[in-house]
Amino acid sequence: MSEVSSFAKNTQAVIKDTDTIMKDIPASCQRVHFYTQKLGKAQCQKQDEVYTKFLNITRVLSAYSAQLDVLASDELIDASQNFDSLEASLNENEKLKPEEAKAIVSLSELLASSLTQGKREDQLSYYLYEADESVQKLLHTLSKAIKRNYLFELNTERAQLKSYHNKLALIGKKQEFIAWEMYRSQLYEKENVLSEKIELAKRVANALDSAAKVHKKLTLGSDDLTKKELKNYLKDFSKELKPVFKDMKNVYKSYKG
């Protein structure tokens, strides 16, 4: 069961990084409106709603992964907090597509039932199997959201930043703006960080897809998958995630927008 625990912890970390990315969707919109010299609060309402929607999904997947780790652990742990953390998610399902809302409710009900049922080892197999359809749906939904929503925002921001940069370059040269060289280097740095974010977002999306694949493998019996094969899948998953976690920490810690 240590393999399942390792998977659960890694998935929790991926979900945490996904939440960081989702928070940057409305923030990116605000930065775009700064570069275009427009007031961005009202224009970015749609992006705020997108973030709120996907926050519901990250909450339920985080709680699910935490409970999966509990069930795979050799120690007795009070996991009721994992269920309590879902209340806010269940109150805002109107922002989700019907199939997404259904997956959240299904996973939440399964989480609630796991707090009171039977033997932990038997329960773990049941929990993985029963959760798989919802987990697949929600992980792939987040992956698609990064590839569509977030990458769209970042590419728009990069285009507007370059336009803003070029406009300031003309002004700086005409007026012999003394501080222009220093400011230009700051704009180049922002452009480089945006490029890093775009590539990193693709890797996080791929990591979510990988988590879905590994979760499916965990539901298979010994007739379909040997323990050695499962360990290799988990090893590859962990290997994929390590540089992602490191880069996420560096890029999003150093860049405030």
Tens of pLDDT, residues 135-185? 999 999 999 999 999 999 999 999 999 888 888 777 666 555 556 666 777
Q: How far is CA 18 from the centre of its chain?
A: 1
Cβ neighbors of 18 (< 8 A, separation 6 or more) are 54, 58, 142, 146, 204, 208
Q: How far is CA 73 from the centre of its chain?
A: 24
3-state secondary structure of 42: coil
Angle 161-143-224 from CA coordinates, rounded to 5°: 155
Q: Could you tell me the two tokens for 3?
A: 């393999």
Q: How far is CA 94 from the centre of its chain?
A: 21
pLDDT tens per residue across span 103-149: 776 776 776 665 555 445 567 788 888 889 999 999 999 999 999 99
Report the alpha-carbon distance of residue 210 to residue 212 in Å, rounded: 5
Report the alpha-carbon distance of residue 206 to residue 239 in Å, rounded: 13
Say yes or no to pLDDT of 208 above 80. yes
DSSP state of 95: G
Indicate the residue type of 30.
Q
What crossing angle do the helices spanning 227-254 and 2-35 adopt, rounded to 10°? Answer: 30
Say yes or no to pLDDT of 225 above 80. no
Minimum mean pLDDT range among 28-37, 39-48, 61-70: 39-48
Read off the pTM: 0.83
Say yes or no to pLDDT of 77 above 60. no
Report the alpha-carbon distance of residue 196 to residue 51 in Å, rounded: 21
What are the distances in angstroms from CA 211 to CA 27, 61, 151, 196, 249? 27, 11, 20, 22, 20
